[in-house]
Chain A
Amino acid sequence: MVHNRSKRPRHPDTQAPVTEGMPEPTYADGARRAAPLAIAGVFDGLTFGVLATSAGFGGLPTLVMSATTNAGSAQFAAASLLGAGSGVLAAVSTALLLNTRSLLMGISVSPALRGGRLRRFATAQLVTDESWALGQVEPGRWDRRLVVGAGLAMYASWVGGTALGLAGAGLIDDPRRFGLDAAFFAVFLAVLALQLRTPAARLAALGGAAVALALVPFTPTGVPILAASCVALAGARRRV
């Protein structure tokens, strides 16, 4: 059994004088933070269910994908590419490229997780764009219970929404007609707004958008977003 190697205490209480005297966050706090996003997530899942079905993905694979991959943008990309006849390799590589950011998120959340390697690996499966953004207690520091609570709420809404979408796939012919795709970027914009407290973060946001849009015409899907993440890395290196 591999234990936490460091002798220093890692517990949020002892690590952050900022939260001293404040009640420690619970799983429910994480779920509560995620509640508005979870409601939007039902619609995102519903949209995915409808779109994947219309792309010829089949009901069971669509539901299993939401339950196992649990990553909206990657799933949309994979289903639409396969539907457009791009082939398995293109669909898989694009989806994984979009999810490369999970690796970076895993690195940043890692100090907040507990237990042996297997438990850390399992807990990290709940780290998504949303639970990662919501589980931050201050820039650069995460709380395990907030991440897990938010992650579970998002997971339930995403899988449940997908099931609803499959059930009603015949009812909504074109989810774009109802602006459901806009729900997606509205959520990301709202989370982004919370991140812009420092000049460095605002610069990173501007740089990220500029780099991503500049690369859109020239690179495969997924590359622009990955390159934008590198802007953050470069920016941080300059600052330290």
Chain B
Amino acid sequence: MSDPWLVVLAVGAGTALLRGAAPAALAGRRLGGRAMGAAELLPAALLSALVATQVFSTRSALVLDERALGLAAAAIALLLRAPLLVVIAAAALTTAVARALA
């Protein structure tokens, strides 16, 4: 079996288990207040970590490049309560233009 297929199978099976394990094992039980408190805060911590690493790092290096401008454009669009498509377009366009000029 070729390497790409091995990766596809292993990542697919592993991801399915990670997603389904808790709902299948917990059935209808609810975890305690502490776990639910974590569930409340998880999106904020996780999403902010995703954004930070996707904008300010390339593999294992911290990088400050055109993506930072794209992030700033997205943030400004969000502060102006722009619709999501505008936010995405602002980020992509700013990043693309900055790259073209660089």
List the interface of chain A (C-beta within 8 A of B): 2-6, 10, 36-37, 39-40, 43, 56-58, 61-62, 64-65, 68-71, 73-75, 78, 82, 88, 91-92, 95-96, 99-111, 113, 117-118, 120-125, 127, 129, 132-133, 136, 139-140, 176-193, 195-196, 200-202, 204-209, 211-213, 216-221, 224-225, 228-229, 231-233, 235-237, 239-240
Contact = CB atoms under 8 A, between A and B. Distances in A.
B10 to A, nearest CB: 4
Contacts of A36: 83-85, 88
Which DSSP category, helix, strand, loop or mixed, fits chain B's interface?
helix
15 contacts: A65-B8, A99-B18, A106-B23, A121-B20, A124-B20, A186-B74, A190-B88, A192-B48, A192-B51, A201-B41, A201-B44, A204-B45, A213-B53, A216-B62, A228-B49
B91 A185 contact: yes
Interface residues of B, number: 77
B44 A208 contact: yes
Given A96-B15, A99-B14, A107 B93 contact: no
Which DSSP category, helix, strand, loop or mixed, fits chain A's interface?
helix
Contacts of B6: 88, 92
